[in-house]
Amino acid sequence: MTEVASDAVASDVAMAATLLAIDPAGLGGAVLRGAPGSLRDRWLILLRQALPTGAPLRRLPLNAPDSRMLGGLDLAATLAAGRPVAERGVLAESHGGIVVLAMAERIEAGTAARLAAVLDAGEVAVQRDGLSLRQPARLGMVALDEGVSEEEAAPAALRERLAFHLALDFLPPGAAAEWRAGDPKDVQAARDLLPAIEAPEAVVTALCGAALALGIYSVRAPLLALRAARAAAALAGRETIEAEDMGLAARLVLGPRATRVPTQEAPPEEQPPESDTAEQPAEPPPEPPPDSPPDPGEGTDEKPDQPLDPAALQEMILEAARATMPSGVLAALGAQTREAARRAGARAGRAGAQRLSKQRGRPIGTRPGELRGAARLALVDTLRAAAPWQPIRRRDGKPGPLIRVTASDIRLLRFKQNTETTAIFVVDASGSSALNRLAEAKGAVELLLADCYVRRDQVAVVAFRGTTAEILLPPTSSLVRAKRSLAGLPGGGATPLALGLEAASGLAEEAVRRGRSPLLVLLTDGRANIGRDGKPGRPKAEADALIAAVPIRLGRIPSLLVDTAPRPVPYARQLAEAMGARYLALPSADSQRLNEAVNAARDTA
Amino acid sequence: MDLPSAAFDMDAEVKLAQSAREESPSAKPARKAPAGRQVFPFAAIVGQDEMKLAILIAAVDQAVGGVLVFGDRGTGKSTAVRALAALLPPMQVVANCPYNSDPKRPFPPREGAFETAMIPVPVVDLPLGATEDRVAGALDIERALANGEKAFEPGLLARAHRGFLYIDEVNLLEDHLVDLLLDVAASGENVVEREGISIRHPAKFVLIGSGNPEEGELRPQLLDRFGLSVEVRTPTDLATRVEVVRRRDAFERNPQKFVAHWEREANAIRRRIVAARRLLPKIAVPDAMLEAAAKLCMALGTDGLRGELTLIRTARALAALDGEREVTLAQLRRVAPPALRHRLRRNPLDEAVATTRVERAILETFGP
């Protein structure tokens, strides 16, 4: 899937819409990854056409408040009726159908967890605004993921639960011309047939074995693949799952989740060791194929007339999955892909940054107060406060509004300020002292993460060396991920300072879009010698870095340049000025002092 | 905490909700939730022995404190917790009491005769989108709107009293709710001062949390509230994974049949819990075991006495489950990792090897 997917894959993508219409709740849904456009619209139309009449298809905007998403008190109806009336949220309203999640790559972890809980339970638990309700919400979700870089994607908690991962950008142009929507009658017939379809042990074993061989660890993946295969069999009007159903499931569910090429055929020497350790260090020995062809004695005793051979099925599944494996897996995660992705990422979403930076954080409760200036009224709580007094206030007999609210009832929203920082370390990993500096940066990251327990800060690390800049650690507050990513830090080579700065400002912009305050910490000796174009030459390299520094200053991103050179050169100071950064010479920085400096910068940022 | 009557004060106007309210009767959803939804049976959960053991221990002795289940996605964390409710023997309460109060200590305190009832032990879900008024309880807006009456409507904390409060994705819970929980969990009572309502009611519950560490860390104060902490990993051997998928698939295709199929095992577990609860007060803790627990905690440098106390209590509950008369070293060893791993003096990047540290200390203290 490095270039353009085959026509077969394109027709699979259309098929996914029909399968999803058959079993939305079982399959969880789909991630549609790619730029908005006619393909995506066409796919959604396919889905709508295949859904049985009356099945809802609703859109959930990004940042929809809980009251819209989960439901809450319907104020108008409550006031009219004089008793609390619940309003269903978008999720409950989509019961039996599909919710489309806009801009899924920007969904926050908390929202993702709410959505995941609804997918798991098949109902919405509402404990809000004085209401306590459980509303059925057996539905599928379609996540529209417009992320461009690897780091920018729908939250893992959500991706994990949505069966189909469809990469629209790789489809051949005009693919949609061949797409035909499933007939709702066929879909209904398939729905009726679904419970009757047995899953032979060999099928389950083959799907599980294939998932392991592809390096897919969550058990949800083979389960979702099984449901996809069952839906495909139902659509074909069969009561048994055939090889072709499993092939389709492999292409739609397993392939895109692969984290490695099954080792039988993989050219092992092409896999760079560091990407291997960075991707899956905590996993068990990466040699599952030996034990994955299952013990033929097992399972066959229960069904002696088992016609299917799990090992052969598994081979077939793996072969099918290959068609949709992520390019990163097939081509090994090279620095080139990251570089390309990063360049693309730096361009995206400026408008979003403007819009979101005005956001004032999440409402975290209410307080009494005066309604003036920037204060925002908490309507429900205000009415709640006013409610008990209504009979008393009406006693004066004067005509007045239905609800009488006085100043003492006013409740204001309390917002959580965006004090959460994303500290981005940009580490010069070039030359001889690289190892030393990387170790310092790593130490400082660890110390900062220790503070994260209380502050919920995030940390990211960008390293630049040779002709590339790499995001070693995407923004995280997770020790587990930090440890994994920092395990193997490469060092040595030339100094592409401009690339490092670009990667960092890309991350900083993304942090701002997510409503966080970025803090940039650049560790370098200032001796840039590789330009933006990857060509050597000091004057060009230095000029490029100064240009790359400008957006950081213009974006008012608080930053700190730590000069690690034993004998500082004036250029580093000049660069700090261009970035609008503070300059700090720490020729023998240890991680403790570095941490103190960062903390100081953060506190005054 | 058992409330002395003096501690019970309320605004003269405030009337306590005397009847157990149904799920907000007037606020009608368009469709009714499916009645009696089947829950995946605890007995049918494949593997994850430590998680299952921790939950059983909490079911035997609620005083052990909460259980934190942290680990990979898709490992059945919330499935296991939700299956807990079906394992617990019913408990006696004052009939229609919204606080599930114990007939021996009715709340609010009352004279004379009153009816009692047997109800299932509550396992209350605290969903992430919950608002503070529903967690702590607040003014009953229905009665306020209809009658201009100031009445208190108890929240989830009241409903969880004497039972379990479950928070999935606990590390994503908003800070102000975490603060509230910490306060209530420490004092055993919920104090509400809102909107002219002033009330305190007992709220003792076992906190159960689950989450994925990749989503973020847990505040240390909250971590400390959990008696036991369990790490769950995705099974990596094929046979186990096949079994997980098969059972899940069978359950989804025919929940009634699946639950019926596991009924015998489920009953066996229920009987084991009931027997263990009966046995628990009779289980002796030999001095040698107290000493061993102290030694182990010293070797690990755990903070304070909580670790030691939890270790002993947990070992007792396990002994009760095993049908023993006294705590032995075998039980102590088995429960030491879940009782202690989250209490080690923190070296933030050493967290993952906490289990290894406990295991090493066990080996060093008790030998192989």
Domains detected in chain B: 8-16+39-246 (3.40.50.300), 280-366 (1.10.8.80)
Pairing of strands A29-33, A164-167: parallel
Closest partner CB to B174 (pick from A127, A222, A364): A364
Identify the H or E element spanning A77.
helix A75-81
Contacts of A391 in chain B (CB under 8 A): 147-148
CB-CB: which of B138, B215, B234 is closest to A218?
Answer: B234
In B, which residues are within 8 Å of A453 by CB distance? 217, 219-220, 348
pLDDT band at residue A335 under the 50/70/90 scheme: very low
What band does A84 get if pLDDT is binned at 50, 70 and 90? confident
Name which of A124, A126, A191, A382 to mutate to probe chain B: the one with the most chain B Cβ atoms within 10 A of its Cβ.
Answer: A126
pLDDT in tens, B324-363: 999 999 999 999 999 998 888 655 445 446 778 888 888 8
**What percent of chain A shows pLDDT beyond 90?**
26
What is the nearest CA distance from B277 to chain A, expressed in angstroms? 31
Distance from CA of B59 to the nearest CA of A (A): 23
- Number of Cβ within 10 Å of residue B18's Cβ equals 11
Cβ distance A110 to B147 less than 8 Å, yes or no, reads: no
Of the partner residues A128, A223, A476, the one whose CB lies closest to the CB of residue B248: A223
User: Would you place residue A105 in the very low, low, confident or very high pLDDT band (cuts 50, 70, 90)?
Assistant: very high
B contact test, residue of A119, A193, A219 with most B CBs within 10 A: A219
Angle at B59 between CA B56 and CA B60, to 5 degrees: 90
Q: Would you state the structure tokens that stand for residue B170, as one six-digit string?
A: 């606990």
Q: What is the tens place of the pLDDT at every residue in A124-179?
A: 999 988 888 899 999 999 999 998 877 788 999 999 999 999 988 888 877 888 88
Contact B217 A477 (CB under 8 A): yes
- Cβ <8 Å between A123 and B33: yes
Q: Tens digits of per-residue pLDDT, B19-34?
A: 333 343 333 333 333 4
Please tell me which of the candidates A114, A135, A220 has its beta carbon nearest to residue B33: A135
Which residue from A minimizes the CA distance to B346?
A450
Q: How many degrees, rounded to 5, is the angle at CA B300 between CA B299 and CA B305?
A: 100
What are the start-end ranges of the E strands in A534-598? 559-563, 582-585
For residue B214, what is the nearest residue in chain A, using CA coordinates?
A478
Is the model more confident about B295 or about A459? Answer: B295
Which of A114, A283, A365 comes nearest B132 by C-beta? A365
pLDDT at residue A159, rounded to an integer: 94
pLDDT band, residue A341 (cuts 50/70/90): very low
Is A479 in Cβ contact with B213 (below 8 Å)?
Answer: yes
Give the predicted TM-score (pTM) of the model: 0.71
As a whole number of angstroms, the distance between CA B136 and CA B178 comes to 12
* Mean pLDDT within A559-574: 83
Determine the pLDDT at residue A367: 67
DSSP A329-394: HHT---HHHHHHHHHHHHHS-HHHHHHHTT----EEEEEE----TT--B-HHHHHHHHGGGHHHHH
**Quick one: which of A438, A455, A589, A465 has its CA closest to A519?**
A455
Across A139-272, where does the E strand assignment appear? 140-145, 164-167
ipTM for this prediction: 0.84
How close B327 gets to chain A, by Cα (Å)? 35
Tokens of A544: 């490029």
Tell me what the mean pLDDT of segment A429-440 comes to.
67
Contacts of A482 in chain B (CB under 8 A): 349
Residues of chain B positioned with their CB less than 8 A from the CB of A416 = 175
Is residue A369 exposed (0-12), middle (13-18) or buried (19+ Cβ within 10 Å)? middle
pLDDT category, A340, cuts 50, 70, 90? very low
Contact B148 A388 (CB under 8 A): yes
The DSSP secondary structure of A404-444, one letter per residue, reads ---GGG-EEEEE-----EEEEEEEE--STTHHHHHHHHHHH
- pLDDT of amino acid B353: 64
Question: CB–CB of A218 and B74 under 8 A?
Answer: yes
Kindly report the average pLDDT of chain B as a whole number. Answer: 84
Q: Which of A70-79, A381-390, B74-83, B318-327 has the lowest mean pLDDT?
A: A381-390
Nearest to B249 by CA among A236, A225, A213: A225
- Extract the tokens encoding A277: 């350790």
Residues of A in contact with B245 (CB under 8 A): 204, 207-208, 219, 222-223, 226
State mean pLDDT over A36-51. Answer: 92
Question: What percent of chain A shows pLDDT beyond 70?
Answer: 75
Type of residue numbered B35: A
Of A46, A555, A32, A438, residue with least CA distance to A252: A32
**Helix (H) / strand (E) containing A579:** helix A570-579
CA closest to A455 among chain B residues: B219
Residues in A closer than 8 angstroms to B23, CB to CB, are 132-134
Residue B117 bridge partners (DSSP): B93
Give the three-state DSSP class for A519: strand
Strands B197-202 and B189-194, bridge-based pairing: antiparallel
> Using CB atoms, which residue from A110, A132, A284 is nearest to B23?
A132
Residue A110 to residues A73, A411, B25, Cα–Cα distance (Å): 21, 25, 29
Instruction: Give the confidence band of A308 by pLDDT, cuts at 50, 70, 90.
Output: low
Burial class of residue A220 in the structure, from the number of CB atoms within 10 Å of its CB (0-12 exposed, 13-18 middle, 19+ buried): buried
CA distance linking residue A488 with residue B191, whole number of Å? 51
- Tokens coding B106: 């009715």
Average pLDDT over chain A reads 77
Q: Which domains does chain A have, with CATH numbers?
A: 1-193 (3.40.50.300), 197-261+275-333 (no CATH), 363-415 (no CATH), 421-604 (3.40.50.410)
Query: Residue A142: beta bridge partners?
Result: A30, A100
What was the pLDDT predicted at A227? Answer: 96
Residue of B nearest to A457 (CA): B216
pLDDT tens string A374-415:
667 777 777 777 776 777 777 666 777 777 777 777 777 766
Region A482-510 average pLDDT:
80
Band (pLDDT 50/70/90 cuts) for residue A372 is low
Report the Cα A511 to chain-centroid distance in Å.
Answer: 14
C-alpha A290: how far from chain center = 33
Q: Tell me the chain B residues in contact with residue A157 when contact means C-beta distances shorter than 8 Å.
A: 73, 212, 215
> Which of A364, A450, A476 is facing B348, going by the closest CB pair?
A450
The residues of B that are catalytic are 306
pLDDT digits (tens, 9 = 90+) for A239-283: 999 999 999 999 999 999 988 877 544 333 333 333 333 333 333
Asked if residue A356 has pLDDT above 60, the reply is no
Do the Cβ atoms of A430 and A528 come closer than 8 Å? Answer: no
Instruction: Please tell me the least confidently modeled range out of A216-230, A582-596, B52-66.
Output: A582-596
From the candidates B145, B174, B233, B257, which should be mutated to test the interface with A, based on the most A CB atoms within 10 A? B145
Q: Is the dihedral of CA A94, A23, B254, A192 positive or negative?
A: positive
Kindly compute the dihedral angle of the four CA atoms of residues A383, A389, A394, A396, in this order, to the nearest 10 degrees.
Answer: -130
Q: Which residue has the tokens 């899956």?
A: A280
**Which of A326-335, A396-405, B71-80, B158-167 has the least mean pLDDT?**
A326-335
Chain B residue closest in CA terms to A411: B195
The CA distance from A298 to A585, in Å, is: 66
Q: In the predicted model, is pLDDT for residue A338 greater than 80?
A: no
Which residues in A lie closer than 8 A to residue B212 (C-beta atoms)? 157
Better pLDDT: A404 or A285: A404
Cβ atoms of B270 and B87 closer than 8 Å: yes
Q: Which two tokens stand for residue A498?
A: 């401009």
Local structure of residue A530 (DSSP, 8 states):
B
Q: Which residue of B has its CA nearest to A225?
A: B245
Three-state SS letters, chain B: CCCCHHHCCCCCCCEECCCCCCCCCCCCCCCCCCCCCCCCCHHHCCCCHHHHHHHHHHHHCHHHCEEEEEECCCCCHHHHHHHHHHHCCCEEEECCCCCCCCCCCCCCCCCCCCCEEEECCCEEECCCCCCHHHHHEEECHHHHHHHCCCEEEECHHHHCCCCEEEEECHHHCCHHHHHHHHHHHHHCEEEEEECCEEEEEECCCEEEEEECHHHCCCCHHHHHHEEEEEEECCCCCHHHHHHHHHHHHHHHHCHHHHHHHCHHHHHHHHHHHHHHHHHHHHCECCHHHHHHHHHHHHHHCCCCCHHHHHHHHHHHHHHHHHCCCECCHHHHHHHHHHHHHHHCCCCHHHHHHHHHHHHHHHHHHHCC
How many A-B residue pairs are in contact by the CB < 8 A criterion? 236
Distance to chain B for A438, nearest Cα, Å: 17
pLDDT for B25? 38
Task: Answer whether residue A349 shows pLDDT above 60.
Answer: no
Closest residue of chain A to B136, computed from CA coordinates: A130
pLDDT interval class at A511 (50, 70, 90): confident
Whether residue B134 and residue A222 make contact (CB cut-off 8 A), yes or no, is no
CA distance A5 to A3: 7
